[in-house]
């Protein structure tokens, strides 16, 4: 009888110590990374209106840009196809919460609001907001105080960090919301707005597209600090993979090649 009780006690002890881990393995849900690999497709959310990061040709419905090339490289590393899912800056949060895509790419800035909903990769770029204006006027807008004056027309695209920064720092100047981010810089060039405050990388790129017409204002010394990264659904396995992929791409030079093609 004592042997039976002792054996029962030992069985209960082993069961209590081993079963939770075993049960956890049996009932653990597949990770987002597992789902992507099984599905064979990585869904990438993109606005398509933010060169040099992303641009959508509305006729062919094809994307191009730095983060388009990076998305394709990520898909290759995963061994899956890439499906680009159109979104917009005002709609991006809702689309993310609706699980319309696995990862958002295309010049996405790191924010606390976005961090609450998902996970960010290792940052791919450090920069901040800085002005871009007509070259003839660029010396007029060195500081926020010079910008925030009555009669100055600040143009912004809606729903993103550009509008948020402008509304936080501009109280006396006029803020004009312009919905088409692909044509917003033309408004400055033709004199319908005085300047836009956006990411330094974009001001440098638009300066190259409008030589002698538009000039980036101190892009090496922006008004604030921000980082760009890839925004993923909350899955640690997916984040670990993306971070490792970025690390290897940086070390083997493939990141640098894609960067040079769009930013240099």
DSSP assignment of 242-254: HHHHHHHHHHHSH
The pLDDT, as a whole number, for residue 1 is: 47
The pLDDT, as a whole number, for residue 201 is: 94
Q: Could you report how far apart the first and last alpha carbons of the chain are, in Å?
A: 83
The pLDDT, as a whole number, for residue 209 is: 93
The pLDDT, as a whole number, for residue 50 is: 93
The pLDDT, as a whole number, for residue 214 is: 98
Top CATH class, 127-216 = alpha beta
Q: For the chain, give every domain's residue range.
A: 32-124+229-263, 127-216
The pLDDT, as a whole number, for residue 27 is: 57
Pair type for strands 103-104 and 41-46: parallel
All residue ranges of the chain with pLDDT < 70 are: 1-28
The pLDDT, as a whole number, for residue 41 is: 98
The pLDDT, as a whole number, for residue 58 is: 86
pTM of the model: 0.81
Q: What is the pLDDT of residues 238-262, one digit of tens each?
A: 999 999 999 999 999 999 999 999 9
CATH of 32-124+229-263, one of 1.20.1270.360, 3.40.50.2000, 3.40.190.10, 3.60.20.10: 3.40.190.10
Contact yes or no for 222/131 (Cβ under 8 A): no
Residue 175 bridge partners (DSSP): 154
């Amino acid at each position: 009888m004592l042997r039976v009780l002792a054996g029962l006690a030992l069985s209960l002890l082993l069961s209590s110590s081993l079963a939770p881990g075993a049960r956890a393995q049996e009932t653990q849900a597949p990770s987002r990374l597992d789902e992507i690999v099984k599905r064979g497709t990585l869904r990438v959310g993109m606005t398509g209106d933010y060169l040099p990061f992303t641009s959508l040709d509305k006729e062919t419905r094809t994307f191009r840009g730095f983060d388009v090339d990076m998305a394709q490289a990520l898909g290759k590393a995963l061994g899956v196809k890439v499906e680009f899912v159109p979104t917009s800056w005002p709609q991006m949060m809702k689309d993310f919460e609706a699980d319309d895509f696995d990862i958002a790419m295309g010049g996405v800035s790191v924010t606390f609001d976005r961090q609450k909903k998902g996970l960010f990769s290792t940052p791919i770029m450090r920069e901040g907001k800085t002005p871009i204006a007509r070259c003839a006027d660029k010396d007029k807008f060195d500081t926020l105080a010079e910008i925030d004056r009555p009669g100055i027309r600040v143009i912004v695209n809606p729903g993103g960090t550009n509008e948020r920064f402008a509304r936080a720092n501009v109280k006396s100047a006029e803020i004009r919301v312009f919905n088409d981010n692909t044509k917003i810089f033309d408004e400055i060039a033709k004199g319908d707005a005085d300047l836009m405050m956006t990411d330094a990388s974009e001001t440098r790129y638009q300066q190259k597209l409008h030589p002698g017409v538009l000039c980036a204002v101190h892009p090496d010394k922006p008004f604030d600090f921000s980082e760009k990264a890839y925004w993923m659904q909350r899955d640690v396995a997916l984040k670990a993979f993306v971070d490792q992929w970025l690390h290897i791409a940086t070390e083997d030079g493939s990141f640098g090649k894609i960067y040079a093609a769009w930013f240099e």
